[in-house]
Structure 1
Amino acid sequence: MEQIQVGGGSSRNGAARLDTLPEDCISMVVSHSWPRDACVVASVSKTVKSAAESDLVWDKFLPPEYSSLVPPRSLDFSSKKEIYMSLADDSVLIDDGKKSFWLEKASGKKCYMLSAMDLNIAWIDRPLYWKWKKDPESKFEKVAKLRHVCWFEIRGKISCGMLSKGTHYSVYAVLKIGGSGSRGLDDTPMEALVGFVGEEAASKTFVLLEPKGTYPRGGYSSGSFREVSTGCSWIEIPVEEVEEERETDGSVEEPKERGDGWSEVKLGNFYNGDGGCDDDGNKIEFSIMGTEQGDWKSGLIFQGVEIRPKKEGD
């Protein structure tokens, strides 16, 4: 289909040709574009606007399963476009409140956040190490607060069939630091893996869960020595030896503020192909592992893992 834009000389000619078609034909043409394009061409004329905002167009942009995800909310809207915009402007809770779902506004691609309750977190059932708490800034009922661990491990999975096909995705951990501060999160890179279950990880990187250089924190000795756990006891070793052990082959991802009271750190990318990956139950798995150094870690508040279409330059 010829791409129709508004603003240039050739685009005016294309828009004029579009305006001469019957309204249902215009709707059919626009339904094969993107939601962003439908909003743009709606400014051409009243006829095109009516066609571009029709249910025929916006039903194509909505995922087939939208009615099962949001049946109560869909009754409050007078058009499919309103339903689409609602799902693009705000997420909805699904899977008994353990996941949230929304649409990328420009493309209609499906996005999810898996709550901490939907992930496998090592030692989460031991209140000495982690505890569940409510957080007014979280979209979920509970978040996981890290109290004190030296073995840090978070894993999760999502079915390929839940995601948009033919789409490059990025995976982010969504987190923040508690009011009393943290320990062992700003100088200990952890390994992050993203890939298909049963296959070699498509993406491997190292991440910090707090921006680098935020310490000193309690639990570290002053001067040129650092306290490191050996499992049941603590020893002091020179700082340069610790840093040498922590050197990685590539760059280390650090958290960035999101503007909603949380920060996010990128765990990796993957491509969800056009083939029927949902037919054979294939899944994407991801993990964050901090188990080798033996450093004690605390102070993290973990909301979940977000999976959304990859942006250009990411």
Structure 2
Amino acid sequence: MAHSADSTSGTNLQAQSKRAPAPHMFREIVANEKATDLAAMEDQACTGIFLAGKTKKYWVDERTRHNCFMLLPRGLAVTWSEDPRYWTWHALKEGSDGEAEKIEAVMLQNVCWLEVHGKLELSHLTPGVTYEVVFEVMLKDPAYGWSVPVNLQLKLPDGTVQQRKENLLEKPREKWLQLKVGEVKPQMGQNGEVGISMFEYDGGEWKRGLLIKGIKIIPKK
């Protein structure tokens, strides 16, 4: 029996030694979640962990071990999103077929004032990695009111602002689109809030047909 126990102990130590180092800031990222088994959460990180009441999805690239995030619509500040005259909420599946989970996406019904804001802690991104920030959206017919380009803005903790415009008028319908907001390359020790926005309220047109799945912050390919 003693030999068996020693053997089991040795196997456990060997398994621990083979475990890859924890992802950058892993404990801090999952600190507010109820699960107590950090090792199990680490194993789950490659397929994705929903955080903060499914307002955010966190996963780790299996090859590079870089952190990745998706800010889900329930965690975004969407002007008038609780009024069904302007926005409605719809269940969608997020993730690969075998691991897909339901999330809530938000669908634009009719607004002239489009304003969506999200935020993420900069220190949770892997240092030295260039990240691309994109809105993942779909235009669903009857989509209208998009003759004026939307503004996409990325604001870094040091006050730096990246801003660009995206013309949705000629974009394909019924297909997921990646609207690039900007790029960020965090350095070790940097922290603070990264602000991510999409807005258009100067054109005065009533808009319809924009389905928002979330904001992805992923390493640039």
TM over 0.5, shorter chain: yes
Deviations along 1:192-248, one digit per CA (max 9) or x if unpaired, are 1112146130x22112346x1669xxxxxxxxxxxxxxxxxxxxxxxxxxxxxxxxx
- Give, in angstroms, the shift of residue 161 of structure 1: 2.2
| Partner Cα distance (1:196, 1:62) in 2 | 23
User: Which runs of 5 or more structure 2 residues have no equivalent in the other structure?
Assistant: 1-13, 96-100
Contact 2:164–2:181 under 8 Å retained in 1: yes
Summarize the Cα distance change of 1:74–1:174 in structure 2 as closer, same or farther, 3 Å threshold. same
Summarize the Cα distance change of 1:293–1:98 in structure 2 as closer, same or farther, 3 Å threshold. same
Letter of the structure 2 residue corresponding to residue 293 of structure 1 = G
Deviations along 1:9-45, one digit per CA (max 9) or x if unpaired, are xxxxxxxxxxxxxxxxxxxxxxxxxxxxxxxxxxxxx
Flag the structure with higher strand content: 2
Match in the other structure for 1:18: none
| Partner Cα distance (2:196, 2:136) in 1 | 14
| Partner Cα distance (2:30, 2:104) in 1 | 26
Partner of residue 188 from structure 1, selected from 118, 123, 148 = 148
Letter of the structure 2 residue corresponding to residue 269 of structure 1 = E
- Give, in angstroms, the shift of residue 133 of structure 1: 2.2
Partner of residue 273 from structure 1, selected from 181, 184, 187 = 187
Match in the other structure for 2:3: none
Q: Secondary structure at the match of 2:82?
A: coil
1:264 counterpart = 2:178: yes
Contact 2:58–2:70 under 8 Å retained in 1: yes
Partner of residue 308 from structure 1, selected from 215, 218, 221 = 218
Contact 2:23–2:67 under 8 Å retained in 1: no
Deviations along 1:36-80, one digit per CA (max 9) or x if unpaired, are xxxxxxxxxxxxxxxxx964353325344277566569549xxx7
User: Which runs of 5 or more structure 1 residues have no equivalent in the other structure?
Assistant: 1-52, 216-254
* Aligned-CA RMSD value: 2.9
Letter of the structure 2 residue corresponding to residue 175 of structure 1 = V
Match in the other structure for 2:54: 97
Match in the other structure for 1:207: 166
| Partner Cα distance (1:75, 1:148) in 2 | 44
Match in the other structure for 2:98: none
Q: Secondary structure at the match of 2:20?
A: helix
- Give, in angstroms, the shift of residue 143 of structure 1: 1.3
| Partner Cα distance (1:213, 1:103) in 2 | 31
TM-score, normalized by length of structure 2?
A: 0.77
Corresponding residue pairs, total: 199
Larger radius of gyration: 1
Contact 1:191–1:289 under 8 Å retained in 2: yes
Match in the other structure for 2:79: 122
TM-score, normalized by length of structure 1?
A: 0.56
